[in-house]
């Protein structure tokens, strides 16, 4: 476990070959082992770096939002993204067996929102995975619609088929938000994969993330063979 400031980074390189993508995923403490185990069936090579020690509601939200009930969101994604690009990723590289062929950003739930925001905001990522992403976030569809460009070549998005069954009206709009952002991505020329998984929001996050990794790692391997 690598420690940098408030962050802790679990780095998994056993499946990395040259060339391979480095997949970055903000995660809750201790989640990376489950994700790594779930992705054991992924046939294409990759490395995984799970960023822990983040403030979930603050560091992953693009701008402040205070709902009528529940915790507030601090809107500090830009600060976290700057740390990621200029401090965390450069610090990870010496621990890898080879130089990554590309970088991918992944996330589940609010981290899935951050991953999609990073795809539009940053220029370092070639691939993006928003798994059960919080794409209901107020103003996010409008933001992506005005962005007009996105750094990634391939975006993978997925939801559970029962994610709209519970929660506030806003949270239940995640499906519509995800479909709208898929449309926007395709209109600006980003190859987009959208999958529906069985279950609700909390059904098998590691397995869903592993499906996303399989898709991205396979595409990265195809690029490497050209």
Q: What percent of the chain has pLDDT over 70?
A: 95
* DSSP reduced 3-state for 97: coil
Q: What pLDDT score was predicted for residue 226?
A: 41
Q: What is the pLDDT of residues 42-52, one digit of tens each?
A: 999 999 999 99
pLDDT of residue 164: 65
Mean pLDDT of the chain: 91
Residues contacting 25, CB < 8 A, separation 6+: 32, 35, 48, 49, 50, 51, 105, 106, 107, 108, 111, 115, 209
Residue 170 pLDDT class (50, 70, 90 cuts): confident
User: What are the boundaries of each domain within the chain?
Assistant: 2-224
Q: Could you give the CA distance from residue 122 to residue 81 in angstroms, rounded to a whole number?
A: 8
Q: pLDDT grade, residue 225 (50/70/90)?
A: very low
Q: What's the pLDDT score for residue 15?
A: 83
114 has pLDDT over 60: yes
pTM (global) more than 0.75: yes
Tokens at residue 219, please?
Answer: 């595409």
Does residue 23 carry a pLDDT above 80? yes
Given a cut of 80, is residue 168 above it in pLDDT? Answer: no
Q: What does the pLDDT read at residue 163?
A: 81
CATH code linked to domain 2-224: 3.40.50.1820
pLDDT for res 149: 80
pLDDT in tens, 177-197: 899 999 999 999 999 999 999
Q: Whose structure tokens read 């088929």?
A: 161
User: Residue 20 and residue 43: Cα distance in Å, rounded?
Assistant: 12
What pLDDT score does 1 carry?
A: 85
Read off the pLDDT band of 224 (50, 70, 90). low
Whether residue 109 is predicted with pLDDT greater than 80 in this model: the reply is yes
């Amino acid at each position: 476990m690598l420690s940098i400031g408030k962050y802790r980074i679990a780095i998994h390189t056993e499946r990395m070959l040259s060339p391979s993508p480095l997949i970055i995923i903000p995660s809750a403490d201790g989640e990376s082992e489950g994700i790594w185990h779930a992705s054991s069936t992924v046939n294409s090579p990759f490395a995984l770096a799970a960023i822990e020690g983040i403030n979930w509601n603050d560091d992953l939200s693009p701008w402040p939002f205070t709902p009528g009930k529940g915790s507030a969101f601090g809107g500090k994604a830009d600060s976290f993204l700057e740390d990621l690009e200029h401090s965390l990723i450069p610090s990870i590289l010496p621990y890898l067996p080879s130089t990554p062929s590309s970088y991918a950003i992944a996330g589940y739930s609010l981290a899935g929102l951050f991953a999609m925001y990073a795809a539009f905001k940053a220029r370092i990522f070639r691939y993006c995975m928003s798994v059960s992403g919080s794409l209901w976030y107020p103003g996010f569809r409008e933001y992506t619609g005005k962005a007009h460009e996105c750094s990634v070549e391939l975006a993978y998005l997925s939801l559970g088929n029962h994610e709209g069954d519970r929660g506030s009206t806003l949270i239940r709009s995640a499906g519509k938000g995800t479909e709208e952002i898929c449309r926007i991505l395709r209109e600006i020329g980003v190859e987009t994969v959208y999958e529906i998984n069985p279950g609700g929001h909390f059904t098998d996050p590691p397995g869903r993330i592993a499906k996303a990794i399989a898709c991205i790692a396979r595409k990265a391997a195809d690029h490497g063979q050209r």
